[in-house]
Structure 1
Amino acid sequence: MFSVGPLNPLRSALMMLGACSLIAATTILAKALGTGLLGEPLHPLQVSAGRFIFGFTGLLCASAFLRPKIEAPAISLHFGRSFFGWAGVSLMFAAVVQIPISDATAISFLNPVFGMLLAIPLLGEKVGPIRWSAVFIAFIGALILLRPGTTAFDPAAFIALLAAFCMGVEVILIKKLTGREPPLQILLINNGIGAVIACTAASLFWAAPTALQWAALISIGLVMISAQSLFIQSMRSGDASFALPFSYSTLIFATIYDFWIFGAIPGWVSVVGAIVILSGALLLGWREIVRGREQTIK
């Protein structure tokens, strides 16, 4: 679905790295807004509202030039994808306020694992031993980060785990949508519905932002849309097997930003847990690519 025009591996890699750096930037902005670095702390639901409202505004501006045709949208699928996307973003923003961004980001990489597990009952997919092994490895990494039964255990880590689950559900719904509708239509409708959901939820916790906080909220929305655009362009410029591994650089960027702004240094447990989760996620990603090629040949 993404292979359009000649492949350019270098461009693909640079686009993916750019997307990951921007995704990590939105997370650090959410942490700054939620911890009071830019004024009185804002509720995570208000922060996620900024992400969807201004993201949707940016897409509307782009649509004024691109003039996409909205044809036969699957509204029920769009609503489900938008709801779980909003829930995943909101929970992620809540998690990074309470636990290190490196831990929250690593746990979020469980979303393809949850997506695979959900694909069994929802899409009727069959799972072989390699993919089950990837799931086992990834969950071992999650247990290392969650640290259950120790004094270092932080219940807030479960917020990031729930965020990963919501993102996993979103992955399933995206799979259904991408086979029916063009990317810009999906982005436009989903961000529009997400903006309505986010505004409704944020109205219960709304506090007047300062000028600096407004700037950060606007930046989160526009930066995330830019990241999504770069991601799509990366996938168009290179094979998925080449581009997707670069997506895990989000963890590197998030760790650098967290250290630069908040002085946070990941402990050895966080490093080991992240490596184990990434190993499982990469194994699962590799197997998905192999399966895709096998189905193409058939």
Structure 2
Amino acid sequence: MATISDRPALGILFICLGVAAISVNDMLIKLLSGGYPLHELVAVRAGLGLIITLSLLQLEGGWRLLRTSTPFLHMARGLLVVLANMTFYAAFSVLPLAQVTALFFVAPLFITLLSIPFLGEKVGPLRLGAVVVGFAGVLIMQQPWKASLDTSRIVLLLPVIAAFFYALLQVLTRRLGLTTRASALAVYLQATFLVVAFGFWLVAGDGRYAERVESEALRFLLRPWVLPEGRDILVFLALGTLSGFVGYALSAAYRLAAAAVIAPFEYIGLPLAILWGWLIFGEWPGASVWAGCALIVGAGLFVFLRERQKDSLAPGRRRLWGRR
């Protein structure tokens, strides 16, 4: 049985590499969102990613690592990551890359909250206050006090909904990581993506529903499949390679360190998203997005620093489930 060790430095390295790969992945998906359906991108990504993760599985111990006594928890985890990805990427076709990413970055705050009931982690009033400040940043970006908006409020909420699903996913990863290797967790995720994408293809792969919807976000989900050509083929290959690495890196990060330590490092994706939005799509955040980003990132950094302070005061403290 695989055991978890408390190795925060290695966990932080994995989360930083994984988030950097996610940032490039997001940019490539937005680049392709005008001509391909989301479920086709997901299918190609997952197919190539599965090949990579199966190779990693062999390096970590072979097929026996896929045996599990908690199949339903793995199914739930796979469903959560699909829901998180679908709701997140659906917003790409309408909103700027930086804004979608910024709104999604309430996920670490959700993780901090969910780690209390699900992981038994102790979160004090100062960190809870930081969570409130972070969600205030979301309100500033959403600007619900405005009488009218060019973009549907439902679309604006999609990244926040994705963040909640993602937080549940990572908390569950932490629990499953007690008995499951990172490569096996990644294999389960890629297999779930393939199954869901195939289901979308069976139901809507011919584009029969795309003409009936006005929302560009829904159209991105329901477009007919298109055979990629030219440079798009290279982009699809890059998506698959990144997907395989991301699935392993994130699973490894949340196995190796506590959720409250790992989560704040996901914020490095925010400046990367701003960079890609500016370089590739000519997007530059407005004042409300900058203000919201400052509150969300500030809250996340405070949560992290507070956790580190508590660790320095009690260096011998064991965190969860008697980890070695």
Q: Deviations over 1:166-218 (max 9, x none)?
A: 10111221121012222222122232233212322344333123224443333
Counterpart Cα distance in 1 of 2:128 and 2:297: 15
Deviates more, 1:274-283 or 1:215-224: 215-224
State the 1:249 CA deviation. 1.7
What residue in structure 1 maps to residue 214 of structure 2? none
Percent identical residues: 22
Asked if 1:226 corresponds to 2:242, the answer is no
Matched residue SS, 1:204: helix
Q: Determine if the alignment matches structure 1 residue 210 to structure 2 residue 228.
A: yes
Aligned to 1:19: 18
Residue identity in the other structure for 2:90: A
Using a 3 Å threshold, how does the CA distance of structure 1 residues 101 and 287 change in structure 2: closer, same or farther? same
Which stretch has the larger CA shift, 284-293 or 106-115? Answer: 284-293
Q: For 1:273, which of 287, 292, 305 is the aligned residue?
A: 292
* Structure 1 unmatched runs, 5+: none
Question: In the alignment, residue 106 of structure 2 is paired with which amino acid?
Answer: L
Does residue 158 (structure 1) correspond to residue 157 (structure 2)? The answer is yes
After superposition, the CA RMSD in angstroms is 3.4
Q: After the TM superposition, which residues 1-298 of structure 1 pair with which residues of structure 2 at under 5 Å, given as runs?
A: 1=4, 17-34=16-33, 36=34, 41-68=35-62, 69-70=64-65, 71-123=67-119, 127-150=123-146, 151-152=148-149, 154=151, 155=153, 156-206=155-205, 207-211=225-229, 212-229=231-248, 246-288=265-307, 295-296=317-318
> Contact 2:42 / 2:193 at 8 angstroms: preserved in 1?
no
Shift, 1:18, TM fit: 4.1
Give the paired residue count. 289
Contact kept in structure 1, 2:177 and 2:255, CA below 8 Å: no
**CA-CA distance at 1:241 after TM superposition:** 9.1
The structure-2 alpha-carbon separation of the partners of 1:202 and 1:131, relative to structure 1 and needing over 3 Å to count, comes to: farther
Deviations 1:31-83 (A, max 9, x none): 1111x2xxxx2222332333322211221233345543324342111111110
C-alpha distance in 2 between matches for 1:99 and 1:8: 34
Mean Cα deviation higher: 67-76 or 128-137: 67-76
**Alignment CA distance shift 1:191-1:285 (3 Å):** farther
8 Å contact kept, 1:109–1:281: no
TM norm structure 2: 0.76
- Displacement after TM superposition at 1:243 (Å): 7.3
State the distance in 2 between where 1:228 and 1:148 align: 35
Give the gaps of 5 or more residues in structure 2.
206-224
Normalised to the residue count of structure 1, the TM-score between the two structures is 0.81
The amino acid across from 1:49 in the alignment is A
Out of 260-269 and 222-231, give the one that drifted further: 222-231
1:89-136 CA-to-partner distances (Å, cap 9, x unmatched) read: 121111122111111111212112223333455456664312321220
What is the alpha-carbon distance in structure 1 between the residues aligned to residue 226 and residue 110 of structure 2? 37
